[in-house]
Structure 1
Amino acid sequence: MKFTPLPLAGAHVISLAPKADDRGQFVRTFCARAFAEAGLESRFVQSNRSFSARRGTLRGFHYQLPPSAEVKLVQCTRGAVHDVIVDLRPDSPSFLQSCAIELSDISATGLYVPRGCAHGFVTLTDDVEIHYQVSAAHDPAAERGLRHDDPALQVHWPHGVASLSDKDRSWPDFDPVYHGTEALRGLLEAA
């Protein structure tokens, strides 16, 4: 397992090491000791699976405010996605910046999303499955989101959006008060 820092402080690409033989392959997708040794969150309390049937399905941007702010460990187990993180930590040098990576079932990579960052993705293929672990349980009162086309973010998606939930479509334009950026102060994690 190799951890490569991304331009957003605390975000990492996780390169996995599949072992293949004539039966197929095996890959370790998480190791608490390896994550702890890399200075990353090593305790995850919830595991989720997302399935999207159509190419162009966009999910996000989602995050939670403290004390329920969460780290996410994201992996694509079927198909491919264009995955984006937006930094919402006001004390971060990359505040309001984003970075993107393609995750797929053949790339043998994962994405580590630090606390205080919003996460979203658009499917690049049909029949996409995402598996992600989170370090805090879902808290509806702490839930927040950003629109994928919010002009303050200037995120560029590789293809048109074919499907978007009403909830994700209705998030307000970026506003530091509503989006709780002051609440996210101090969540900057060491890279």
Structure 2
Amino acid sequence: MLEIRRLAIPDVIEIRTPRHRDERGFFSETWNKVDWNDAGIQLEFVQHNHSMSAPAGVLRGLHYQLPPYAQEKLIRVTRGAIFDVAVDIRRSSPTFGGWVGATLSAADWNQVLIPKGFAHGFLTLEPDTEVQYNVTAPYSPAHDRAIRYDDPTIGIDWPSSGYDLILSSKDAAAPLLADAELFA
């Protein structure tokens, strides 16, 4: 049975699926369309992504795609741990510019579902962390956007003490929220 917990911005959901263990290891249905539909979560995934970050302290994000290629994302960690963040970039939303974060780990076997209209990013907390995520729209370079991870108007409280942050050049040069192309 799915365990569903709404985060401080209730459009972002933490989900736990059961793991069935025995002497061989475990089995888990991390996505089952019927069960998730019964829980009120109706999605059609079109792409599955897998990233691996060798050192702890890799920060990826904050990424999003504009319509018509906006993506809902289901994020999970299969090795290691991350601090996962979603930022509301819907100008018409009462939580516009707000953020929520959750620690996702292979040990906790939790996932986060991030809806369209949110920028997404994560910080690896352990070496050799692997993140897998399903998305509801394919990658589109023409619609791909990013926002600075350290924008002071958003004020994300990254658990970054003890890490030398490692960013891509794209993420380091991303615009602030005030200068980004956003959702209506």
Band the TM-score falls in, shorter-chain normalisation: over 0.9
Residue 33 of structure 1 contacts residue 42 of structure 1 at CA under 8 Å; is this kept in 2?
no
The 3 A distance-change label for structure 1 pair 163 and 123 is same
Q: CA deviation at 1:89?
A: 1.1
Shift of residue 35 of structure 1?
A: 2.3
RMSD (Å) for aligned C-alpha atoms: 1.3
- Report the TM-score when normalising by structure 1: 0.90
5 Å matches for 1:54-93?
A: 54-93=55-94
Counterpart for residue 175 of structure 1:
178
Segments of 5+ residues of structure 2 without an aligned counterpart are none
Show the counterpart of 1:189: none
Aligned residues: 181
8 Å contact 1:64–1:142 — kept in the other structure?
yes
- 2:165 matched residue in structure 1: 162
- Structure 2 partner of 1:146: 147
Matches of 1:44 and 1:56, distance apart in 2: 29
**Superposed CA offset, 1:43-76 (max 9, x none):** 1000000000000000000001111111000000
Aligned residue type for 2:176: D
- Structure 1, gaps ≥5 residues long: 186-191
Change (3 A) 1:94 1:161: farther
State the TM-score, normalizing by the size of structure 2: 0.94
Identity %: 39
Q: Give the structure 1 partner of residue 48 of structure 2.
A: 47
Report the Cα distance in structure 1 between the residues aligned to 2:76 and 2:148, rounded to whole angstroms: 22
Find out whether 1:113 has 2:102 as its counterpart.
no
Q: Is the 8 A contact 1:41 1:71 kept in 2?
A: no
> For 1:9 and 1:66, how far apart are their aligned partners in 2?
22
Distance 1:118 1:41, change over 3 A: farther
Corresponding residue number in structure 1 for 2:27: 26
Q: Secondary structure at the match of 1:150?
A: coil
How much does 1:161 deviate? 4.2
Q: 2-side partners of 1:171 and 1:33: how far apart?
A: 39
